Amino acid sequence: MTIPRHIAIIMDGNGRWAKARNLPKIIGHKEGVEAVKRVVKACLDMKVRYLTLYAFSTENWMRPPKEVMALFQLLEDFIDKEFELFHKNKVRVCIIGERQRIEKRLLKKIENLEKDTINYTDLIVNIALSYGARQEIVNAARVLSEEVKKGRLEPLDINEDMLTERLYTRGQPDPDLLIRTSGEMRISNFLLWQISYEEFYVTEKFWPDFGEEDLRKAIEEYSKRERRFGR
């Protein structure tokens, strides 16, 4: 079985999982956090090097304020309670997305976690938070335009590598495998630049039900595919 170096996951279906059980949506989100822990541990066992999780999009800010607050509280609790998981397993945590909208107290915890795990290399976990791929590309273009404006760069010298190095995921390989749960066939503004040649795998399972065997099944399917990269 060929293990992808980098797996990205659109974690979808928490609300529908809860609705199917006549439970409050927040219970679905809590169970989604448990799925995150299962998948992190499975990636460690299978020697996946990079894992990117779509936790909260820029569009998610349009959800009811009470739900948004609950989601960020879950993230804060996850950071507080899983400190040992990251350090014991040498997991580096990186947050990718727009930070200015995140509440300052939580942002401080996030940045402390990033600093505390910066030297770990067994698994790099990117948490896409307040993330939108279009905005990420716009931000990278703005950085390049400022460098042109200051005379550090000629417009005709700009290439793909230069833009890649100004994205949130700079220094990391592009995803090999993108998994989406809940059966939806959409990218949802996620890693639009980075997934140009990834393999796409969709499962009908809602995210709270996703576990190690589901991850293994996705990787087995990935292993059967011939990646030609347009050649």
**Catalytic: which of 22, 60, 122, 189?**
60
Rg from Cα positions in the chain: 18
* 12 in active site: yes
* 174 in active site: no
Dig out the tokens for 210 from the structure: 């996703």
Contact present, 225 and 49 (Cβ < 8 Å) = no
**Catalytic: which of 12, 14, 126, 176?**
12
Catalytic residue annotation: 12, 60
